[in-house]
Amino acid sequence: MYPVRFSGARAEGGVIHLEGPWFQGRVEGYRKEGHAFLRVFVYHRPEDAGKGSWVVEGLAPLPLFLEGGRVLGEGVGLELDLDPFGLRFSGLRAPLLLAGALVPVGLPEEMVRLSQEGDALKEVLDGLPLGSGYGLLLAEEEGRRYYGLGERTGFLDKKGRRWTNWATDDPHHHPDTDPLYQAHPFLLAKEGERAWGLYLDETWRTVFDLAFTDPETSLVYTEGPTFDLYLIPGPAPLDVVRAYTALTGRAPLPPLWALGYHQCRWSYPDEKTVRKVAEGFWERDIPLEALWLDIDYMEGYKVFTHDPHRFPDLGRLAGDLRARGVKLVAIVDPGVKKEEGYPVYEEGRARGYFVRNRKDEELVGAVWPQPAVWPDFTREEVRDWWGGLHRFYLERGVAGIWNDMNEPAAFQVEGRPAPGKTLPSTAKHGDRWHAEVHNLYGLLMSRATFEGLRRLEPGRRPFVLTRSGFAGVQRYAWVWTGDNSSYYEHLEMSLPMLLNLGLSGVPFVGADIGGFSGDADGELLCRWTWLGAFYPFMRNHSGKGSRRQEPWAFGKRWERCIREAIRFRYRLLPHLYTLAEEASRTGLPLLRPLFLHHPQDPRAEAVHDQALLGEDLLLAPALRPGQTHRLVYLPQGVWYQAFTGEMYASGFHPAPTPLEGIPLYQRAGAAIPFTDPLPHTEGALPWRSLVWQVALGEEIRGRLYEDEGDGYAPGLEALLEGGFDPVSRRLYLRLKDPNLARRLRVEARLLGVRTLREATVPWRKEEDILLDLRAGEAEAWL
C-alpha cells in the first residue's frame, strides 16, 4: 500500500476539492435536522466522481471554506494534510490514507484464490489501474473506547479486535466469531465524556482493525475503489447516535403488537401443532401475541406457497388465531426454487430478475430450495415485483414477514459447495459485482418487503424481521441476532450485541430467547425470558433437533417464572410503546448502554451486563445458573429498586437475583406508565388501566405516547409532572392526559412509600401506596 497524496486543495461552491496526480477527492459539508456532517471522499477512477449512496439521503449542503490547512463550516471543522493525505477531526488523528489492496487484512480467501488464477482478480476488482482498497490509519488514544459496528460477538467496547463487514450466515458462532449476519461500517468513539462518530459509506467488504494488529493504530479499510467517509462531531454520545440516525434513517413506529410476546420454532410442522401451541398459552393464561411459521409451512421450500397437506388453509388458521388476538408471521427466504411451472420462478426468469454469473447466465445454486436462484434486489423493478408477491400472505391473513437467509446464504453454487456460504464475488447484479453489493442484500430484500407491504395495505404499519442488513436497515425491518445457542454465555452476550446494534441505529432488536441451537433447560429459559422481557423484540425460538422450549416445556416450577416474565412484559408495554415512538423520532434505541446517559462516568464505559431501558430504568440480569446474587453498578443519581422500593445511591451493591424477577431500578424523579397484563394487545389502546410508578424525586416527570396501535392517525401524549419536597414531605402530581376519561383506572404507585399521612385524593395501600389520579391532580403528605 502507498500513501494517497494531493498536490492542492481549493474551495469552490462551498466544497473543498482535492487534486493530485493519481487521486481526486472532495470534502463536503452537510446538515440534517440540526446535525452537521463532513464527508471525505477519495477516488481515482473518473467514473467514480459522482458516487452515490445506497443509504444516505435528504442532506442539505453546509458550505465549507478553507483557512490555511483547515476546512471550516458552521459548527464543524477539520484539519487536512495533503501530502501525504491525513486529517484531524474532534479527537481523531488520522495521519495517513493508504491505497492499494491490503492483502493480509482485507481479502477474502476466494479472492486470493482468484488472484492466483491469473487475471481473475483484476476482473473482480474491475480492472483498477492501481489495485484497489483504501485504509485510513487512526492514531490510537489510550482512553478511547469504540462502540457501534452493528451486531458483533464480544463485550461492549469493540476496541482490541478486528471486525469485518461481510454479511455471513454462521449458525454456530462462538464468542470470537466474526463477521456475523449484519454489516454496519459505523463507529462511535468515546474519549472521556466526548464522542465522535465515523460512518464509512462503502458497501464492499470493509475491515475495522481497532488497535488489534498494532496497539498504537487502528485501521478503517475498504476493498472498494472509493473511500467515502462521513464524520460526525458529537460532542456527546447521545448526539452521535441522533446524528447518525439522521444520516442513515430512523425506524418507523411499529404496530403495537410487534412489541408483544412471540413464539416460534423451526418448525411447528403442521396446522394442528400450531393450534396446540396456541392452546398451550391460552390454557395457562400466558400472554401470546404471534405464532411464527418457519420454512416447513411451504411446499418444497417454495416461497409464496403453502403445503397443501400440512397447512391446507393458511387463511382459516390465521383467522381462527386472530379471533383470539394471535397473529401469524411467515418466513420468506430469498432463494427461489428453480422449477418449471412455479410461477415465481417462471416470472422472475422471463423478466430477467435473478442474479447472474460471470458468464452472464442465470446463477443457479442451492439453499433450502434446490436448485435455487436469487432475485437481484439492487434493481427497483425487482423490489417492486417481490414486494407485490406478498399479496399471497396478506390475502391469507398473515400479519408480518420474517426474512431469513438473506446474507444471502447459499449451500451450493453451480454444483459446488459455496465458499463463505454465499454467492461468488464474481456474480453479477445488473452490471455490479456481487463483491460490491453483497452487504446490501439483506437491506434491499427488507426494503422490497417493507415497501410491498406498505403498498398492499397502505393503512397498516408493515412488520418485517430480517437477519441480514446494512447501515440503515432499521428503516425497513427489525433485526434478530440469528442462530445463537442455549448457552448462558449467549444469554450474556446478547446484551452487548443488542446494545451495539442500538447504538448503530437499529432500535428494534432481539436475540432468540432460550437459544436457537442446543438444549435449553428451565432455569436458563426463565432467566432468558426475564431478560427478554426487556428486549425490544421478544421472541422465543428454537432450532430443529433441539428440545422444545415453549414456556411450559420444563415443568410447572419454571412455567411459573416464565409466565411472570411474559406478564411483566405486558405490564411494561405502555412504556415500551412510548420509547418506540421516541426511537422513531430521535433514533435513540430502547435498550441503551449506561454510558449513553452517563458519559462522564468512567465506570459506566464498559458495563456489558446491565442496560438502561430508556433513560429511567436500569436492569441487571442474572447470567449464571444457581446465581443468588450479583453486583450491580448504579451510575449517578438516586435509584429505587423497581420491585421492592429500596433506595440506593450511586455505586456498587450486591443484589439478590430471585427467579421470579430481575434486578431492576428506577431513577429518582422518573414516572413510568405500567398497565395490567393482557392476553394480547388487540384493542388494548388506549390503555384502560394505567399505573404510573413514581420514584420520588424533587422533580418528577413521566411521558406516555398512545395512538391506535397501527395505521397512521396522529397520536396523543400524556404527561405526568410534579415534585416531592423532602423537607415538608409534600408530594404534588399533575397529570395531563387527553385520554383520561376513557380509562377505568389511573393511579400513581409511590414506589417504596409504605405510609401516608394525608392526601387530597382517594388512596389505597398495596405493597406501596397508590393514589387515585382520575382527578388529574393529587397532593399528598408522606
- Closest approach, Cβ 393 to ligand MIG, in A, equals 16
Residue closest to 646 by CA, chosen among 657, 638, 658, 637: 638
Largest Cα–Cα distance in the chain? 88
Least distance CB 331 / ligand MIG (angstroms): 6
* Binding residue (CB under 6 A) for ligand MIG from 178, 239, 404, 559: 404
* Closer by beta carbon to ligand MIG, 136 or else 405: 405
CB of residue 301 vs ligand MIG: minimum separation in angstroms?
A: 9
Q: Is residue 483 close enough to count as binding ligand MIG by CB under 6 A?
A: yes
d(CA 495, CA 492): 6
Q: By C-beta, is 331 or 691 nearer to ligand MIG?
A: 331
Closest to ligand MIG by CB, 166 vs 268, is 268
**List 407, 582, 707, 747, catalytic entry:** 407
Task: Pick out residues in 515-554 that bind ligand MIG (CB under 6 A).
Answer: 516, 541, 543
Q: How far is the CB of 482 from ligand MIG (least distance, A)?
A: 5
The three-class DSSP label of residue 687 is coil
Residue-wise over 649-667: b if at least 16 C-beta within 10 A, else e? eeeebebebebebbbbbbb
Q: Is 665 in the site for ligand MIG (CB under 6 A)?
A: no
Peptide bond into 417 cis (omega under 30): no
Cell 422465543 sits on residue: 540
Q: What mask of x and - would describe binding to ligand MIG in positions 330 to 369, judged by CB under 6 A?
A: -x--------------------------------------
Query: What single-letter amino acid sits at 600?
Result: Q
Question: What is the phi/psi pair of residue 344, to 5°?
Answer: -65, -45
Give the residue, chosen from 102, 200, 290, 295, that forms a contact with ligand MIG under the rule CB under 6 A. Answer: 295
d(CA 501, CA 495): 10
Cell numbers representing residue 231 in the block: 464524520
Nearest distance in Å: CB 409, ligand MIG: 7
| Min CB(727)–ligand MIG separation in Å | 57
Residue 508 near residue 195 (C-beta atoms within 8 A): no
DSSP 468: -
Computed on alpha carbons and rounded to an integer, the radius of gyration of the chain in Å comes to 27
User: Considering Cα of 214, then 217, then 218, then 222, what sign does the dihedral take?
Assistant: negative
Element of type H or E holding 247: helix 237-248
Distance CA(544)–CA(283), nearest Å, equals 25
Smallest separation, CB 502 to ligand MIG (Å): 20
Active site residue 384: no
Question: Cis link prior to 84 (omega < 30° from 0)?
Answer: yes
First to last CA, the chain: 71
Choice among 169, 239, 333, 404 that is catalytic: 404
* Shortest separation between residue 370's beta carbon and ligand MIG, angstroms: 13
Specify the residue, 77 or 269, whose C-beta has the smaller distance to ligand MIG.
269
DSSP labels for 109-138? HHHHHHHHSTTHHHHHTTT-BTB--EEEEE
Give the 3-state secondary structure of residue 382.
helix
Whichever of 43 and 470 has its CB closer to ligand MIG, that residue is: 470
Contact in structure between 102 and 221 (CB atoms under 8 Å): yes
Q: How far apart are CA 162 and CA 493, in angstroms?
A: 18
Binding residues with ligand MIG: total (CB under 6 A): 12
State the residue number with the nearest CB to ligand MIG: 266
Nearest to 430 by CA among 383, 379, 382, 386: 379
CA separation for the pair 442, 78 (Å, rounded): 34
Nearer to ligand MIG, 205 or 541 (CB): 541
Coil, helix or strand at residue 403? strand
Q: Is 157 or 404 the residue whose CB approaches ligand MIG more closely? A: 404
Q: Are 588 and 623 in contact (CB under 8 A)?
A: no
Q: Which is nearer to ligand MIG, 482 or 673 (CB)?
A: 482
Instruction: Decide whether 393 or 516 has the Cβ nearer to ligand MIG.
Output: 516
Told to check if 28 binds ligand MIG by CB under 6 A, we report no
Helix/strand/coil percent split, the chain, to 5: 25, 35, 45
Among 266, 558, 640, 724, binds ligand MIG (CB under 6 A): 266
- Please, which residue, 246 or 331, has the CB nearer to ligand MIG? 331
Cell of 505: 441505529
Quick one: which of 223, 294, 682, 707 contacts ligand MIG (CB under 6 A)? 294
* Nearer of residues 37 and 402 to ligand MIG, judged by Cβ: 402
As to burial, measured by CB atoms within 10 angstroms (0-12 exposed, 13-18 middle, 19+ buried), residue 441 is: buried
Instruction: Point out the catalytic residue in the list 483, 609, 737, 747.
Output: 483
CB of 248 to ligand MIG, least distance (A): 24
CB of 478 to ligand MIG, least distance (A): 13
Could you give the residue ranges of the DSSP H alpha helices within 400-542?
A: 434-437, 441-456, 488-503, 522-532
State yes or no: residue 482 binds ligand MIG (CB under 6 A): yes
Q: How far is the CB of 676 from ligand MIG (least distance, A)?
A: 32
Question: Which segments of 74-225 does DSSP mark as H helices, in order?
Answer: 103-106, 109-116, 120-124
User: If we measure between CA atoms, which residue out of 534, 638, 640 comes closest to residue 579?
Assistant: 534
Residue in 31, 467, 597, 630 binding ligand MIG, rule: CB under 6 A = 467
In DSSP notation, 576-638 reads: HHHHHHHHHHH---SEE-HHHH-TT-GGGTT--S-EEETTTEEE----STT--EEEEEEEEEE
Binding track over 223-262 against ligand MIG, x by CB under 6 A: ----------------------------------------
Please say if 270 is a catalytic residue. Answer: no
User: What CA–CA distance (Å, rounded) separates 488 from 610?
Assistant: 15
Which residues are bridge partners to 264 per DSSP?
Answer: none
C-alpha span between 692 and 690 (Å, rounded):
6
Min dist CB 515 to ligand MIG, Å, is 11
Establish if 407 lies at the interface with ligand MIG (CB under 6 A).
no
483 is catalytic: yes
Judged by beta carbon, residue 464 or residue 659, the one nearer ligand MIG is 464
Distance in angstroms (rounded) separating the CA atoms of residues 744 and 686: 11
- The rounded distance, in Å, linking the Cα atoms of 226 and 341 is 43
User: Residue 257, Cα to own-chain centre: how many angstroms?
Assistant: 18
Is residue 307 within the footprint of ligand MIG (CB under 6 A)? Answer: no
Nearest CB to ligand MIG, comparing residues 171 and 654: 171
Q: Least distance from C-beta 481 to ligand MIG, angstroms?
A: 9
Residues at the interface with ligand MIG (CB under 6 A): 266, 294-295, 331, 404-405, 467, 482-483, 516, 541, 543
Catalytic annotation, residues: 404, 407, 483
